[in-house]
Amino acid sequence: MDLHIVIDPAQPRGEQLLRQLRGLIRSGRLATGAQLPPTRLLAEQLGLARQTVAEAYERLTLEQLIEARRGRGSFVRALPAAEPETPPVAPPRFASAARIAAFEQLPVPLLRFVDNPLARFDFVGGSPDPALFPHEDWRRHLHAAQRQLGQGSAHASPGGLPALREAIAEHVAYARGVRCSPADVIVTQGAQQAFDLLVRVLVGPGEVAAVESPGYPPVQALLQAQGARIAPVPVDDEGLVTDALPAGARLVYTTPAHQFPLGVAMSAARRRALLAWASREGTVIIEDDYDSEFRFEGQPRDSLQGLDGEGRVAFVGSFSKTLAPSLRLGYVIAPPALREALLNARHLTDVHGPLLLQSALARFMQEGAYRRHLRRCMAEYARRRERLMAGFAGPLAPWLRLLPAEAGFHQAALFKPGLAMDAPQLAALARRVDVGLYPLQVFAPEHNGLLMGFGRVTPEGIDAAIARMADLLS
């Protein structure tokens, strides 16, 4: 007997074999009472391991489609009651239909834009250069962490490994003027999880949350999912316009070091006004410090958290911009009064993160490799920033104005008024010459400009891309 079975070696083999055997039996091509080939024979015929065939037979036996007769082989049994092979046409009815639909309609796909580089010269924001990743150092610390950790089955604290919490506390005190102890640090799965925990603990449905406008879409989507009333607050060249803050907000989300997306830094006066307002209103301030470890000019500005004498600023940081987003490591420095609530929320969400990566990062930081890496990145991004600024001051000056930014690895550029082309048109054209541009309109419809990330373009690439942009515009 020669069964008609075709195995695609690029797909899981056992599953293909099982599916086709099932099909042959259910369709009747292998009729009741028919004998299946011995496992060794079928394995040879299909180029499979004998174990794979044996496991498929075992499975079909469990499904009561075949039976083993001792010393004689495997035989097809009488067919069980028909089972639907195709999914139902009408989707099932759910009591939660409205809620499911609300989650389906969240503006999430917008945020998936870094999945694939868009072009050879890709000015995507928020993405570090993979070529700068410290592979050798990282691999060494990862392997050491693996050897030491083994895979004990113990759960750990939802706040993360003590060694990593200590290293982060030291880093933010040093680099960002944050006042904290290791106990205040909660290691998170990237900054996004920190925002999620804070939103859960602070905002119920119908309650007010203030955000910067234009601002960071993932936080707005989170608040929308939670049913919060979102109060957008404008941003000008001193950052968040504190006079426009709403009453009764449970939280305010802000990016004082490097406003997302416009890039401006919040002035000292606005910082004081924001802290005073939050104290009057009983509001928690979420300070998103996503990429301000890269500081290029201006007087160093410490974090809002460092200015806060009351314990109402939650400082959120990330290793996605300084190392790699695929590590999924970030943190929140929790105000003491929120710490237990946030740890409980983290415990309920996913208990804690994988220990191996936490342990590797702790070693990497403790041994100074993180600071060395930051210095190296800093020097490289400073070169890129200079090329970008030169390009906007030179070839692109007739059309676009670069907004100032002291820190971070993107800057915003606004079209000068009265031009025939707008940012989405330019972006569409630029893709044809292999330049990836990102209109600011994604973040706020009233802004006609571009978000110019320089994390993924070399200095030479920036020069080349700017020449191409200038060609398109003229």
* Contact between 394 and a second copy per CB under 8 A: no
Binding of a second copy at residue 335 (CB under 8 A)? Answer: yes
Q: Select from 190, 317, 391, 453 the one that contacts a second copy (CB under 8 A).
A: 190
Can residue 276 be called a binding residue for a second copy (CB under 8 A)?
Answer: no
Reported as type and span, the H/E element at residue 284 is strand 284-288
Q: Name, in order, each residue with C-beta under 8 angstroms of 60's C-beta and a sequence gap of 6 or more.
A: 18, 21, 22, 25, 66, 74
Looking at this protein, which amino acid is placed at residue 393?
A
Q: Which of residues 446-465 bind a second copy (CB under 8 A)?
A: 455-456
Q: Under a CB-based contact definition with an 8 Å cutoff, are residues 441 and 399 in contact? A: no
The answer to whether 18 contacts a second copy (rule: CB under 8 A) is: yes
Nearest approach in angstroms of CB 67 to a second copy is: 14
Q: How far is the CB of 425 from a second copy (least distance, A)?
A: 27
> Applying CB under 8 A, does 366 fall inside the site for a second copy?
yes
State yes or no: residue 70 binds a second copy (CB under 8 A).
no
Residues 45-64 that bind a second copy (CB under 8 A): 49, 51, 55, 59, 62-63
Per CB under 8 A, 177 contacts a second copy: yes
The C-alpha atoms of residue 296 and residue 379 are separated, in whole angstroms, by 9
**Rounded to whole angstroms, how far apart are CA atoms 415 and 393?**
13
Residue 335: closest CA among 304, 312, 301: 312
Query: Which x/- pattern, by CB under 8 A, does the window 236-255 give for a second copy?
Result: ------------xxxx----
* Given 36, 201, 400, 402, the residue binding a second copy (CB under 8 A): 201
130 vs 394, beta carbon nearer a second copy: 130
Q: What does the block give as tokens for 147?
A: 């050897």
227 binds a second copy (CB under 8 A): yes
Question: Could you say whether residue 377 binds a second copy (CB under 8 A)?
Answer: no
Using the structure block, give the residue that is written with the tokens 């054209």.
429
Smallest gap from Cβ 242 to a second copy, in A, equals 17
By CB under 8 A, residue 425 contacts a second copy: no
DSSP string spanning 126-188? S---GGGS-HHHHHHHHHHHHHHHTT------TT--HHHHHHHHHHHHHHH-----GGGEEEE
Helix (H, G, I), strand (E, B) or coil at 36: coil
Q: Rule CB under 8 A: which of 117-176 touch a second copy? A: 127-130, 133, 135, 138-139, 142-143, 146, 149-157, 166-167, 169-170, 173-174
Which of 33, 47, 71, 91 is close enough to bind a second copy by CB under 8 A? 91
Q: In terms of Cα–Cα distance, which of 252, 273, 270, 371 is closest to 322?
A: 371
Q: Which residue stretch of 37-45, 199-207, 400-408, 411-419 sits at the interface with a second copy (rule: CB under 8 A)?
A: 199-207
Distance CA 15, CA 60 (A): 12
